[in-house]
Amino acid sequence: MKLPLLLGSLACLSLASPELRFAPEEGSEVTKTFTSGLDLTLDSMEVLVTVHGEEHPLDEAMPEMTIQSSSTYVFRDAYQACADGRPTKLKRHFETLESQVKRHAELDGKVEDSENEKASDLLGATVQFTWDDSEEGYKLAFADQAEDEEYDEALLEGQRVEADYTGLLPKEEVELKDTWEIDAEAFYWITSPGGDLHLLAEDEDADESDDFDEQFHENLDGTIECTLDGIEDGIATVLLTGTFTTKVHMDIEPPEDAPEEAEEVETFRDMGFEYELEGKLLWDLKAHRAQSLEVKGDVVLTMELNKRSEVVQVKRIRVMKGTYHESGTFE
Residue-wise DSSP of 266-313: EEEEEEEEEEEEEEEEEEETTTTEEEEEEEEEEEEEEEEEEEE-SSEE
User: If pLDDT is split at 50, 70 and 90, which confidence band does 263 have?
Assistant: low
Q: Quick one: CA dihedral 256, 260, 264, 265, positive or negative? A: negative
Q: Taking a C-beta distance cutoff of 8 angstroms, is the pair 201, 116 a contact?
A: yes
Q: Which of 134-143, 247-256, 316-325 has the lowest mean pLDDT?
A: 247-256
- Residue 50 pLDDT: 87
Query: pLDDT tens-digit profile of 132-148?
Result: 999 889 999 999 887 77
- Cα 260 to Cα 154, 257, 314, distances in angstroms: 36, 9, 19
Whole-number Å distance between alpha carbons of 248 and 172: 34
Pairing of strands 266-284, 235-252: antiparallel
The backbone region for 163, taken as left when phi is positive above 0, alpha when psi lies in -120 to 50, beta otherwise, is: alpha
- Residue 144 pLDDT: 85
Residues 6+ apart with CB under 8 A from 202: none
Query: pLDDT tens-digit profile of 8-35?
Result: 333 444 443 447 888 899 999 999 999 9
Q: pTM (2 decimals)?
A: 0.87
**pLDDT higher than 90, residue 270:** yes
Mean pLDDT for all residues in the chain: 88
Percent of the chain residues topping a pLDDT of 90: 69
Beta bridge partners of 81: 89
